[in-house]
Amino acid sequence: MLFRDLMNVNPWQEMDHIREEMNRLFNSASRPAAQFYPAMNIWTSQDAAVITAELPGYRTKDIQLSITNDELEIKGSRQQEALKDGEQYHRQERGYGEFERTLRLPFLVDTAKVDAKLENGILKLTLPRAEADKPKKIEIKTA
């Protein structure tokens, strides 16, 4: 956890989180939501972060991304091809359904410059670090 996180703990926000979590639990009991989320990798450099996720079969309209402060929310859904009469499955190993996930980013992001690309089933996000969040070198003055 970053130092900033410790300073900014908001009890109301925490309670909201718990409530959302409870809602999700109860909702999942009534509707058959897939209990999965795509695996993600994160790379960082001094100035940016790159996040990749494997999302085969998702089209751009099936994925929603949003960034609030240093949290990235990603939602998506993949539908199964409906079988017609006389068709039957031999094997069914691929997952279907909806997922929703929130990631804490390693730093604040310049949201205006975020780039998202979907290619061959891989989602690639490039998130430039906000200028205000970049480390500053501090000169020490001699008296």
Beta bridge partners of 103: 72
125 CB neighbour count, 10 Å cutoff: 23
Q: Which stretch binds other proteins (CB under 8 A): 7-15, 66-74, 115-123, 132-140?
A: 115-123
Cβ atoms of residues 102 and 73 within 8 Å = yes
Please give the Cα distance from 127 to 104 (Å, whole number). 13
Site string for other proteins, 38-57 (x = CB under 8 A): xxxxxxxx--xxx-x-xxxx
Q: Which is nearer to other proteins, 44 or 65 (CB)?
A: 44
Site string for other proteins, 88-107 (x = CB under 8 A): xxxxxxxx----------x-
Cβ atoms of residues 34 and 100 within 8 Å = no
Single out the residue of 1, 6, 7, 21 in contact with other proteins (rule: CB under 8 A).
Answer: 21
Q: Which is nearer to other proteins, 86 or 136 (CB)?
A: 86
Q: How many CA atoms lie within 13 A of 37 on its CB side?
A: 10
Min separation Cβ 50 and other proteins, Å:
5
Does position 25 bind other proteins by CB under 8 A? yes
Q: Which is nearer to other proteins, 8 or 60 (CB)?
A: 60
Cβ atoms of residues 40 and 51 within 8 Å = yes
